[in-house]
Amino acid sequence: MPIYSFISESGEAIEELVPSGTKRVTREGVNYARSIGSEGFSLTGQAVGIPPQAEQVKDGYYKLEQSEGSRFLRQSQFTTKQIKRAWGF
């Protein structure tokens, strides 16, 4: 279930964990309509960022190499030496 922001007619805002597609909620007799803005949140603890694009590409090729095995090199247009240089060996 996603977290959405809801705003009352008086401008009071709340955040609720509700099923997708929920447009309105009522809390303590007050009606709230879902906010149009994008939602963001953070968690405490160890921060994990998105890896750099180069690392994401390497991870993608690694997964492809693992799934294709030796067929990967036979189908590749790159030489073994070029692949090793790309991996930093």
30 DSSP β-pair partners: 27
Q: Distance between CA 59 and CA 74 in Å, rounded?
A: 20
Q: What is the mean pLDDT of residues 42-69?
A: 77
CB-CB contact of 16 with 7 (8 Å):
no
Kindly state whether residue 44 falls inside one of the protein's structural domains: no
pLDDT at 26: 92
Kindly state whether residue 60 falls inside one of the protein's structural domains: yes
Kindly state whether residue 57 falls inside one of the protein's structural domains: yes
Q: Distance between CA 78 and CA 87 in Å, rounded?
A: 13
Kindly state whether residue 58 falls inside one of the protein's structural domains: yes
Reference 8, options 38, 41, 40, 28; nearest CA is: 28
Mean pLDDT of the chain: 80
Q: What is the mean pLDDT of residues 69-81?
A: 72
Q: How many domains does the chain have?
A: 2
Task: Indicate whether 75 pLDDT > 80.
Answer: no
Kindly state whether residue 46 falls inside one of the protein's structural domains: no
Residue 31's pLDDT band, with cuts at 50, 70 and 90, is very high
Domain that holds residue 12: 3-34
Q: What is the mean pLDDT of residues 3-26?
A: 88
In the chain, the amino acid numbered 5 is: S
What's the full length of the chain, in residues? 89
